[in-house]
């Protein structure tokens, strides 16, 4: 059950990363545009906030196993976005969506694929076990 929780969290993080990518494509991959457009800033800030919140739902075992990403720093950035009430550093947010989000998306996607492969392997083993129990008269 815990693995399902972690897999669900991964899936949602990847979806929010994709939302950030769509937002960048819509508004343009340009800091000058980003720095003056509050709609652009708010759209990506919400996704960053959601990603940070989602990281709190991973099991400790997951975070210890998949430790190439600084999960606690992501949560800390979420807290800054959530509690600074419009005072977030635009450059930091831009740096996050430009550099960190693609890495996070790639990492989470790779883990998600590993989970799917393990699940498929378990299903295959269960099918083999079920078929071996069938007795044909």
Q: What is the mean pLDDT of the chain?
A: 87
CA dihedral 112, 114, 115, 119 (to 10 degrees): 140
pLDDT recorded at residue 127: 58
The answer, yes or no, to whether residue 3 has pLDDT greater than 70, is no
Percent of the chain, pLDDT > 90?
65
pLDDT recorded at residue 100: 94
pLDDT digits (tens, 9 = 90+) for 61-114: 999 999 999 998 898 888 777 777 557 789 989 999 999 999 999 999 999 999
Q: Are 96 and 77 in contact (CB under 8 A)?
A: yes
**What's the pLDDT band for 129 if we cut at 50, 70, 90?**
low
pTM comes to: 0.82
CA separation for the pair 134, 103 (Å, rounded): 47
pLDDT recorded at residue 81: 76
Burial classification of residue 43, based on how many CB atoms lie within 10 Å of its CB (0-12 exposed, 13-18 middle, 19 or more buried): middle
What are the structural domains of the chain? Answer: 2-133 (1.20.120)
Residues 55-63 have a mean pLDDT of 94
pLDDT recorded at residue 1: 45
């Amino acid at each position: 059950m815990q693995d399902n929780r972690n897999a669900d969290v991964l899936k949602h993080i990847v979806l929010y990363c994709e939302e950030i990518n769509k937002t960048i494509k819509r508004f343009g991959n340009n800091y000058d545009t980003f720095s003056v457009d509050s709609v652009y800033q708010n759209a990506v800030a919400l996704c960053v906030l959601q990603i940070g919140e989602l990281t709190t739902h991973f099991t400790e075992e997951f975070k210890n196993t998949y430790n190439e990403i600084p999960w606690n720093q992501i949560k800390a950035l979420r807290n800054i976005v959530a509690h600074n009430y419009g005072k977030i550093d635009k450059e930091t947010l831009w740096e996050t969506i430009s550099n960190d989000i693609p890495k996070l998306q790639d990492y989470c996607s790779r883990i998600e694929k590993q989970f799917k492969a393990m699940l498929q392997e378990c299903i295959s083993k269960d099918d083999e076990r079920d078929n071996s129990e069938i007795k044909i008269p």
